[in-house]
Amino acid sequence: MKNRKKKELLMSEVRVRFAPSPTGYLHIGGLRTALFNYLYARHTGGKMLLRIEDTDRTRFVEGALENLLKALKWSGVEIDEGVMLDENGHVTEKGDCGPYIQSERVKAGIYDKYIDQLIEEGKAYYCFCSQERVDKVRDQMRADGLTPKYDGLCRSIPLEEAKQRVANGEEHTVRLKLPKDYDISFNDRIKGKITFNTDDQDDQVLIKRDGYPTYHFAVVVDDHLMGITHVVRGDEWISSTPKHVYLYEAFGWQAPEYIHLPTVLNKDHKKYSKRNGDGMVEDFIEEGYTPEGLINFLSLLGWSPDSEEEIFTMEELAKQFDFDRVNKTGAVFDKKKLDWVNGHYVRELSPEELAKDIKPYMIKAGLIDESYPEDKLVLLAETWQSAIDKFSDAPELAKNYYIKSDEIEYDDDAKEAISTENAKTLFAAFLNQLDQVDEIDADFAKSVMKTIQKETGIKGKDLWFPVRAAVTGSVHGPDLSNAFLIMGKDLVKDRLEYVRDNF
């Protein structure tokens, strides 16, 4: 009774899953796949599962699972069922369809009865060919202009003979026995009806020599047992889907709906690839992007809302999201667009929040240390907030407030501004004002330029450009009085004396 109720529950709701392999850091394309799964689950009132597919033990990376879960948690993509982090940051599982880690499912013997069923029904067979032979067969087919695939040599071995060879310890795999010249069709939610003929398909390995199921076998069994209703994944899996569809048919199970997402492309319109070292989520976190900014940007990577809006909260995305508005073609990862979107969220922060976020980057750049006054850091954040798109921008923008005077690189406009006769007059007047105070305070910072204007009669850009260029290294920039306060008397005085003596 309990199992029947569970099955009815699974069939009555949308159930999607993100099922990565723990082979390194989470790629940005993987995060987008997880996000689209999550948004659809929230849009429909369904469930989002996380399953770990670790049957390829040669590619397993220690610590990758924890990194993956931390990245998802940071992003705000919440897991309803499966593998997740508990409140103490430890890996745990939640749900009635576990284990949710495939290697644990192997140990539990979950796949055994299903592979036995296919073998007994003549829909799969034992293959004793060495990898060397398989490679030679494929190479020859390729040379002959044919689709490279296994030639089916072991298909004709009687089952009892094959079982005896297995019992004798002979190394083997188990392969899917595809029917000849058979059309396998499925409807993709984005791309429409897709048909493959089995003559162009390989007799896919289902169980490897090490006894582990391949992705193609385990994914079908797991998705069925976990009640997955919609398989949402990248379109690089389209060529594998007919094998999965045929396995569902072989078992007599109802296949889920398939949704293959357009590829994420780099600026050269090539795949934004993990193998090329592009786009690891960890890198975006380290660069100082906000989770809200990265998620908002990724949501628009291949999907468009039914409006001109581009800024969305996660809740707003879930309300609007549907696969009917997902593009069929690849989506270019535009870093400038990401910076623009993320900058919106940076500007929504209070100066106090931004100060806290930029502090580690300022320390790493060697511009400040842990003891740096909090009020100055808040003022720095307030000063540059409109120009910061990600937290790692802060050191480059503000470095001239901290480095030595002889380390500043003056551009042509700055050199021109600090080399005029007016400039010499202004610097002398400013230095005179500095000699009259112990330190620069808010009153001095706000009034000193007006005082110098009255004293020298110089005004407008002839007043501001030379002083700004001398103090900050540029004729352009944010509030100059804030620069005076952040830099303090000694550094401002040193800058003025340096340009006076060297230009």
pLDDT of residue 277: 56
More confident residue, 274 or 98: 98
**Mean pLDDT of all residues in 302-307:** 92
pLDDT of residue 2: 44
127: β partners: 173
Among candidates 216, 196, 193, which has minimal Cα distance to 206? 216
DSSP characters for 478-493?
Answer: S-HHHHHHHHHHHHHH
Packing angle of the helix pair 480-502, 421-434 (nearest 10 deg): 120
pTM: 0.91
Greatest Cα-to-Cα distance within the chain, rounded to the nearest angstrom: 106
Tokens describing residue 430: 């400013």
Binding site per annotation, positions for ATP: 274
Residue 272 has pLDDT above 90, yes or no: no
pLDDT of residue 271: 84
pLDDT of residue 34: 98
Cβ(468)–Cβ(453) below 8 Å: no
**Mean pLDDT of all residues in 284-291:** 97
- Within 10 angstroms of residue 480's Cβ, the number of other Cβ atoms is 17
Q: What 3-state class would DSSP assign to 342? A: helix
- Within 10 angstroms of residue 450's Cβ, the number of other Cβ atoms is 11
pLDDT of residue 59: 76
Residue 5 has pLDDT above 70, yes or no: no
For the chain, list the domains and their CATH numbers: 1-105+264-296 (3.40.50.620), 109-261 (3.40.50.620), 403-502 (1.10.10.350)
**Mean pLDDT of all residues in 312-331:** 95
Reply yes or no on whether 376 is catalytic: no
Binding site per annotation, positions: 274
pLDDT in tens, 427-451: 999 999 999 999 999 999 999 999 9
Angle at 277 between CA 52 and CA 361, to 5 degrees: 95
Q: What 3-state class would DSSP assign to 126? A: strand
Cβ(14)–Cβ(40) below 8 Å: yes
**Mean pLDDT of all residues in 336-359:** 98
pLDDT > 90 in the chain, percent:
89
Residue 41 has pLDDT above 60, yes or no: yes
How confident is residue 6, by pLDDT bands cut at 50, 70 and 90? very low
How confident is residue 216, by pLDDT bands cut at 50, 70 and 90? very high
Residue 8 has pLDDT above 50, yes or no: no
In the set 94, 274, 399, 446, the catalytic residue is 274
How confident is residue 1, by pLDDT bands cut at 50, 70 and 90? very low
Cβ(30)–Cβ(64) below 8 Å: no
pLDDT of residue 60: 73
What mean pLDDT value characterizes the chain?
94
pLDDT of residue 9: 46
Range in 61-65, 226-230, 489-493 the model is least confident about: 61-65
Name the helix (H) or strand (E) containing 301.
Answer: none
Q: Amino acid identity of 223?
A: D
Say which residues have a Cβ less than 8 Å from residue 414's Cβ, sequence separation at least 6.
Answer: 469, 473, 474, 475
**Mean pLDDT of all residues in 287-307:** 96
How confident is residue 3, by pLDDT bands cut at 50, 70 and 90? low
**Mean pLDDT of all residues in 446-463:** 96
Residue 12 has pLDDT above 80, yes or no: no
Tokens describing residue 129: 């060919």
Range in 12-21, 339-348, 359-368 the model is least confident about: 12-21
